[in-house]
Amino acid sequence: MTADLSPIDRAKFVAAKRAVEYVEDGMRVGLGTGSTAAWMVKCLGELVRDEGLKFTGVATSKRTAELAQQVGVPIVTLDEARWLDLTIDGADEYDHNLHLIKGGGGALLQEKIVATASDQMIVIADISKQVEALGAFPLPVEILKFGWQTTKALVEETLVSLDVLGQTTSLRMNRDEPYITDEGNYILDLHLRRIGNPRQLSLVLNQIPGVVENGLFIDICDIVIIGNGDGSVEVRDINSGTVEHEQVDVGETDNLFADIID
């Protein structure tokens, strides 16, 4: 079945397969949201089924929780787990400092809470997500419904004084209605093009009344695993400063993975 994967799907798959090697019996593991994270959840389900891996997952969204349960991964709440050994998640962008933009899938708030409640965060991605400077991907900002237009205006006013190339914002939509997060909030997408100082931007945005959280993950990611279409991966560890190149044995997966392929 893996022979039928497109290069981008193969890249996501090998990054996910390499990442689950970090999961050990007895761990409490945060499970990310998005297309690459879905590969990871399926890989964990295969390990539970075929190798008897025993661990507990904490999902970052309702859809991740549903997928995990479908493939046999036991799920508890973060309150029940209290603290996590590891979180594995995708990213919309990452730079050389392993700073991230996340939230394209709408789960940035729960993703950030889970990631910061972990001893280690591993990001799985393909090479297209690597950028010199964050900002080409719109930055998601989760905001309260109450007074959202005022919050939007305050965000736009604040952007004028910050080191960004663009200042356009838009309310994320789900067809004809505003997109609603799992926590019942709206999302503003900030079209910044380039973010000169991600740390400053994150701090300033979170001081605006009505802003719940933003999609900049600063000093949270420890390792990024970059998948390639040829089945190879690059493992970058920001703490040790190491970069390793490996070949992942993709083998032939079964229909456990069939519904992930777009």
Q: What is the C-alpha separation between 8 and 36, in angstroms, rounded?
A: 10
* 229 in a labelled binding site: no
Q: Tokens 């400053």 sit at which residue?
A: 200
Amino acid at the residue 84: L
* 77 in a labelled binding site: no
Q: For this structure, is 24 an active site residue?
A: no
* 19 in a labelled binding site: no
- Tokens linked to 112: 């950030």
Q: What is the C-alpha separation between 206 and 26, in angstroms, rounded?
A: 35
* 11 in a labelled binding site: no
* 241 in a labelled binding site: no
How far, in whole angstroms, is CA 212 from its chain's centroid? 18
* 166 in a labelled binding site: no
Q: What is the C-alpha separation between 141 and 3, in angstroms, rounded?
A: 38
* 89 in a labelled binding site: yes
- Tokens linked to 245: 């190149």
| DSSP-derived pairing of the beta strands 100-101 and 216-217 | antiparallel
Q: What is the C-alpha separation between 87 and 41, in angstroms, rounded?
A: 12
Amino acid at the residue 162: L
Query: Looking at the DSSP assignment, which residues form a beta bridge with residue 236?
Result: 224, 243
CB 108 within 8 A of CB 215: yes
Catalytic residue (choose from 46, 93, 111, 142): 111
What separation in angstroms does the CA of 191 have from each of 40, 128, 129? 29, 18, 17
Q: What is the C-alpha separation between 110 and 63, in angstroms, rounded?
A: 12
| DSSP-derived pairing of the beta strands 232-237 and 242-247 | antiparallel
* 219 in a labelled binding site: no
* 152 in a labelled binding site: no
* 103 in a labelled binding site: yes
* 35 in a labelled binding site: yes
Binding residues for substrate: 33-36, 89-92, 102-105, 129
Active-site annotation, residues: 111
Binding residues are: 33-36, 89-92, 102-105, 129
